[in-house]
Structure 1
Amino acid sequence: MASSLTKDPASTPGSAKTFFGHPRGLATLFMTEMWERFSFYGMRALLPLYLVSNSGLHMNAATATAIYSIYMAMVYLLAMPGGWFGDRVWGPRKTVTISAAVIMLGHLTLALPGSGTFFAGLALVALGSGLLKANISTMVGHLYNGPDDPRRDGGFTVFYMGINLGAFAAPLIIGTVGEKVNWHLGFAIAAAGMALGLAQFLIGTRHLSARSSVVPKPLSAEERRTTLRKGLLWLIVAVVFYGVLVATDVYTLNWALVPITVAGLLIPVAVLVRIKRDRDLSKAEQSKMSGYIWFFVAAAVFWMIYDQGGSTLSLFGESSTTNSLLGLHFPTSWYQSVNPVIIMALAPVVAWIWLALNRRGKEPSTVVKFGSGLFLVGTSFLVFMLPLTMATDGDKVSPMWLVSIYFLQTVGELCLSPVGLSVTTKMAPAKYGSQMMGVWFLAVTAGDCTTSLLSLAGVDLNKTGMVGLEAALAIVAAFSIWMYRKKVSRLMGDVR
């Protein structure tokens, strides 16, 4: 990395040196995000396996899937207050520093035996990840001279490569140690990864833009008092309520899981309704929001299936696949490295295809790309039905079944996710421009909370009938978007 640092004849915010032609601060943020993703995806790869293991918390698959889904939902739900803290309280740089420390503390807490420390650690990691997610991307943008800087898109491409490098390595290292040596040692390695990320962030913070230390819209003294008062009030209500449940011996895990799940479904709906009913929006903005709701619902269905790659599919891999290929036996957590390696291999190819089709005037519309992503994720679960059927008598199936499912889901992600991010920024009403990225993340929250609700209701998501139903839902949603593509395009107005 040091050898790639060269003098840049043009001035860049934050430093006179460059990192592969980009501001030097990009190296700091690249490494911070890589190590944060290393800790996040390493712990995520272990999570459902630890929950069901006899040497872990020994839960049933339904409860494990519900906990995993709620955890994923909360990470994306908390991205909205994370952005608020960066904008109104601490500024992006301080928010990232605090959130990285919270994540490290969470992994260290997970490294301690016991169910109480497990749930406390999980909550800390979710909180820290949500705080960090929105702010570190904002800091990447601060490195460049506005949205028209020709290096900006390339900088984000380099940054996202760090995400996938961390996500690829984590299951191979943390997953192997956690499964083969000790679960809690695996969680401790995740903490060490975040500690490395935090240390190099603090060392390299001088290379970041000064804008990243500024609080864009600081709270007034009155707003601070009001916010603190409301926060303390809700905290007291929660402590008293759950204190009574525990004291009367009524409390069970569902008293925590069900309210969080319901909140994760209601909050996205409430946010969309509030924006849609805002009378300050122009007629064109109202139309775009109506069109955006189509994309939001479709994305929620997509993420409901896609995120089961770390729960439903992982648990199937643990119980019903040989986990052996070409004579090499590997831990179940290694399946979680398939997605990032496919993304790194195919993302440039997909981008090249879209550009080549665009030059010929044949690039698919946003609606068609979205529908294609939904169709592929639905097809992946149709494929999943085959190994499920083959393994009904206790037989073990080839790991290539799971690899093929992850492949279809990843190609679907490459069709849908970048387009969703782009269309969110383009269709956002001016009044809600800075909040709409958080709204996009709420689609993930809604999808994961749907999975959690099904699991809490006792639905076995590893049964052929349920998998087929989810596949049918995604494929029907894909065809619905395609059939109504002209209507959605009209609602989108000038956005293409």
Structure 2
Amino acid sequence: MATSQTMAPAPRPGPRPTEKTFFGHPRGLATLFMTEMWERFSFYGMRALLPLYLISGGADAAKGMQGGGLGMSVATEASIFAIYSAMVYLLTLPGGWFGDRVWGPRKTVTISALAIMAGHLLLAVPGTPTFFLGLAFVALGSGMLKANISTMVGHLYDGPDDPRRDGGFTVFYMGINLGGMFSPLIIGTVGETVSWHLGFALAAAGMGLGLIQFLLGTRHLSEASNVVPKPLTAAERKSVIVKSLLAAAAAVVFYVCVASFTTITDNWILVPLSVLGIVIPVLVLIRIKRDKSLTQLEQSKMSGFIWFFVAAAIFWAIYDQGSYTMATFAGESAQNSFFGWDFPVSWYQSVNPVLIMALAPVIASGWLWLNRRGKEPSTIVKFSSGLVLAGVSFFVFLIPMTTAAHGAKAAALWLVAIYFVQTVGELCLSPVGLSLTTKMSPAKYASQMMGVFFLAVTAGDSLMSLLSTGGMNLDSRGVVGVEAAVAVIAGIGIWVYRGRVQRLMGSIN
């Protein structure tokens, strides 16, 4: 193995006693809080518009929807949206690698923000070619930024034992949800009612504001965030460049050959990406599991981790459809009004962040209350509960779908109820999954396993994209019912085999 260059010790992070603080935390947390809030503002605002824009102008568009979109079918829209979401999380792996080996977290975040801005500006330009290029830029920038900004939050504190650390990440998490809450209300409204492209331009402006305040506030960040932890050696850099060029050349040759025999359609892009989104997570897990340097206990924990990974993939496959399958249904078949007041379809995407902020403290306090009484559910029970709730949410979805099938508009509160059930499921599964990953990670892969856990999102979304591309109608009652049943059965299955899974986990509970 090639050795890395010797680095001088990074200055000790954390504020000095005389420094101003941000709610008792290092002043740099305000910089990262605002950066993440504006990045999520742009990200979720664009996501709220994306499924509607893709079908606008086409046969599957909702009645009364403004034209000017790409006029795609619901099936194509579902495939594109799902694979876009999958690629964002897949790209967190190279994003973390660039932060660790090439640019350092601070420079990587700056370049990522510029890529996101460029992507949204390309989306603001009418035309299909610029649209897909813009989507690629946003996915690349979002994946790379996501992988590094949380690391920079950690740099603000004096190691993992700093008592302010958990609270700092909680404050940072609130920035994510604030951005996610307001963006559909602003970007969604402008995009739906005025101009799709103006909405995308607002997303670019939001990321621009985030970048400006990030650059102005970098003086408050730890110097550790400006350090490349393990820079590439000259030999490693050359190897990466050669392998990247070979991969690019192989892709070019493949598509030149395809173009020689047939017309390259969207499916020639979507299917390979969907397959990669499933194959890469599987290969990563196999590579770690087959590492002979792992101890017997680490091997056992990895076997247990795979159970949770598969369950998480099923969960996110259903959960993420709240942004496209349910959004499409809302545009066509829901009565989007409250006490006679009509609201844009994209506003549904604000429901989850509002519920997260309202329910997260309640559920966290509930776990502590049960823990004090010795009745807190185990990790396995929490995880299986989240998966069952995902399935229940789609069983609830069948009710408004049945109403619409009989020619009536479904009440908006049914959709809110679905998001409510999914949010409770998310709070049972997602935080537990992140915590579990840190506990079950082999020491050798400790810094990589969080990215591996995010690959469950990639696998779930890629599967849905592949099914939609293959002709499965994701917005049919039959498919929604099957998905609901699969999630419930999988959740119950984990609970039934909890003894076996617990043995694999060792002492972790």
TM-score, with normalisation over the residues of structure 1?
0.97
Aligned twin of 1:59: 72
1:494 aligns to what SS in structure 2? coil
Cross-structure match for 2:461 = 448
Q: 1:302 aligns with which of 305, 310, 315?
A: 315
1:38 aligns with 2:41: yes
| 1:190-243 alpha-carbon deviations (Å, 9 max, x no partner) | 000000000000000010000000000100011001101111121122233324
- Corresponding residue of 1:48: 51
Deviations 1:373-409 (A, max 9, x none): 0111100000111111111133211111100000000
Give the counterpart of 1:290 among 291, 303, 309.
303
Q: Which residue of 2 aligns with 1:342?
A: 355
AA paired with 1:35? W
Match of 1:114 in 2: 127
Q: 2:258, 2:264 within 8 Å by CA — same for their partners in 1?
A: yes
**Residue type at the aligned position of 2:268:** W
Matched, 1:176 2:189: yes
Question: What code does the residue aligned with 2:360 have?
Answer: A
Separation of aligned partners in 2, 1:397 and 1:390:
6
The share of aligned pairs that are identical, in percent, is: 69
Amino acid of the structure 1 residue aligned with 2:193? K
**Within 1, Cα distance between the matches of 2:303 and 2:258?**
42
Q: Which amino acid aligns with 1:168?
A: M
- The yes-or-no answer on 1:85 pairing with 2:98 is yes
Letter in 2 for 1:93: R
Superposed displacement of residue 14, structure 1? 11
Indicate the residue corresponding to 2:494 in structure 1.
481
Structure 2 unaligned blocks of 5 or more = 1-12, 58-66
- Is the CA contact 1:91–1:212 (under 8 Å) kept in the aligned structure 2? yes
Helix, strand or coil for the counterpart of 1:149?
A: coil
Counterpart position of 1:330: 343
Q: Give the whole-Å Cα distance in 2 for the aligned partners of 1:343 and 1:393.
A: 33
Alignment of 1:418-437 (within 5 A): 418-437=431-450
**1:22-421 mapped onto 2 (5 Å cutoff):** 22-54=25-57, 55=67, 56-246=69-259, 250-421=263-434
Which secondary structure state, in structure 2, belongs to the residue aligned with residue 147 of structure 1? coil
Match of 1:12 among 15, 19, 22: 15
1:210 maps to amino acid: E
Q: What do the CA deviations read for 1:54-103 (whole angstroms, capped 9, x no partner)? A: 12001010100000000000000000110000000000000000000000
- 2: CA distance, partners of 1:441 / 1:358: 28
CA pair 11-430 structure 1, distance change in 2 beyond 3 A:
closer
Distance 1:250 1:379 in 2: 42
Q: Distance in 1 between matches of 2:198 and 2:192?
A: 10
Please state how far the C-alpha of 1:164 moved relative to its aligned partner. Answer: 0.1
- Mean alpha-carbon deviation: is it higher for 13-22 or for 229-238? 13-22
CA distance in 1, matches of 2:242, 2:435: 37
One-letter code aligned to 2:427: L
**Do the aligned residues in 1 keep the contact of 2:14 with 2:158 (CA within 8 Å)?**
no
Alignment: residue pair count: 487
C-alpha contact 2:14 2:222 (8 A) present in aligned 1: no
Q: Distance in 1 between matches of 2:17 and 2:40?
A: 24
- Among 463, 472, 492, the residue aligned to 2:485: 472
Indicate the larger mover: 460-469 or 134-143.
460-469
Distance 1:406 1:14 in 2: 44
- Residues in 2 aligned to 1:31 and 1:408: alpha-carbon distance in whole angstroms: 29
Contact persistence 2:177–2:357 (CA under 8 A): yes
Task: Tell me if the contact between 2:83 and 2:274 (Cα under 8 Å) persists in the aligned partners.
Answer: yes
Query: Is the partner of 2:377 in helix, strand or coil?
Result: coil
The answer for the alignment partner of 2:472 in structure 1 is 459
Take 1:14 and 1:492, find their aligned partners in 2: how far apart are those partners? 42
* CA distance in 1: counterparts of 2:470 and 2:415, whole angstroms: 26
Deviation at 1:13, TM superposition (A): 6.5
Aligned to 1:4: none
Shift in Å, 1:249: 5.3
Equivalent residue letter for 2:301: K
Q: How far apart are the structure 2 equivalents of 1:400 and 1:280? A: 53
Aligned equivalents of 1:187, 1:244: Cα separation in 2: 35
Q: 1:53–1:59: 8 Å Cα contact kept in structure 2? A: yes
Partner Cα distance (1:468, 1:453) in 2: 18
CA–CA distance in 1 between the matches of 2:412 and 2:140? 34
Q: Indicate if the aligned counterparts of 1:77 and 1:442 stay in contact, CA closer than 8 A.
A: yes
SS in 2 for 1:216: coil
Q: Distance in 1 between matches of 2:257 and 2:346?
A: 39
